[in-house]
Structure 1
Amino acid sequence: MPVLTVQTNVPLDGVVVSDILKDASKAVARLLSKPESYVMISIRHGIPMSMGGSEEPAAHGELISIGGLTPANNKKISAAISEIFQQKANIQPGRFYIKFTDVKGSDMGFNGSTF
C-alpha cells in the first residue's frame, strides 16, 4: 500500500507525466519489495513553491508505507525518485525533500476497511 505523493512548482504540461508515474511506481515497488498493484503515485504540479527563498524548480514528496521504510531503503528510494524527477522534470536532487512515514496497517484504510 505504499503511497507516494509529490508536489512541485514545475508545470509538467510538456512532460509525459505517465512516464514519471510508471517509473516511480516500479521503483517504489522494487525497493520496498511490495507488489506494484498496491503502489499509488500522485503528482501535483505547477503549484506555487519556494525552497531556500528561491522559486527555482523544487519538489516535496511524502512516501507512506506499511513497513519497508528503513534507513537503508529510504536512502535508495530518495536516490531513485530524485533521479526520476531530475531526468523527467529537471528538478535537481538538492531541491527535493522526501518525508518517509511508516504506518500500522490499522492506520491505513482500503476497500472499506483497514489493512
Structure 2
Amino acid sequence: MPTLNLNTNVPVDSVTASDILKDATRIVAKLIGKPESYVMIVLNGGVPIAFAKTEEPAAYGEIISIGGLGPSVNGKLSSALAELLETKLSVDSSRFYIKFYDVERSFFGFNGSTF
C-alpha cells in the first residue's frame, strides 16, 4: 500500500510518465520492502510550482506507507527518487522536496475498508 504522489512543474509526456511510473514503483517497493503489486504512484506533470522565487524545474512528493519508513530508508528513497527526477525530467535534486508519512493501518483505506 505504499503510495507516492509526485507533482512537478515540468510537462510530462506519456512515454516519460510511463517510465517514471515503472521506475518509481520499483524503487519504492525495493526500499520499503513491499511487493510492487502493493505500490501506487501518482504523477502530476505541468503543475504550477514556484521554488526559491523561480519556476525552473521543481518537484514535490509525498510518500505514505504502513511501516517500512524510517530515517535510513527515507534518506535512500529521497536520493533514489531525486536521481530519477533529475534523469527523466531534469529536476535538480536541490529543487525537490519529499515528505514521508508512516501511518497506522486504520488510517489507510482499501477495498471499502481499512488495512
TM-score range, shorter chain: over 0.9
Distance 1:103 1:14, change over 3 A: closer
Between the aligned residues of both structures, percent identity stands at 57
Give the whole-Å Cα distance in 1 for the aligned partners of 2:67 and 2:19. 26
Shift of 1:14: 7.3
Shift of 1:101: 0.5
**Matching residue of 1:109:** 109
TM-score, with length taken from structure 2: 0.97
Query: Do residues 34 (structure 1) and 34 (structure 2) align?
Result: yes
**Matching residue of 1:99:** 99
Q: Please list every run of 5 or more consecutive structure 2 residues that lacks an aligned counterpart in the other structure.
A: none
Shift of 1:12: 1.1
Describe how 1:1-115 pairs up with structure 2 within 5 A: 1-13=1-13, 16-115=16-115
Q: Tell me how many residue pairs correspond in the alignment.
A: 115
CA RMSD in angstroms, aligned pairs only: 1.0
Which secondary structure does the structure 2 equivalent of 1:62 belong to? Answer: strand
Which secondary structure does the structure 1 equivalent of 2:56 belong to? Answer: coil
Give the whole-Å Cα distance in 2 for the aligned partners of 1:83 and 1:16. 15
TM-score, with length taken from structure 1: 0.97
Q: 1:15 touches 1:89 (CA, 8 Å); kept in 2?
A: no
Give the whole-Å Cα distance in 2 for the aligned partners of 1:39 and 1:14. 20
Q: Please list every run of 5 or more consecutive structure 1 residues that lacks an aligned counterpart in the other structure.
A: none
Which secondary structure does the structure 2 equivalent of 1:68 belong to? Answer: coil
Q: 1:64 touches 1:103 (CA, 8 Å); kept in 2?
A: yes
Hey, which bits of structure 1, 4+ residues long, moved more than 6 A? none
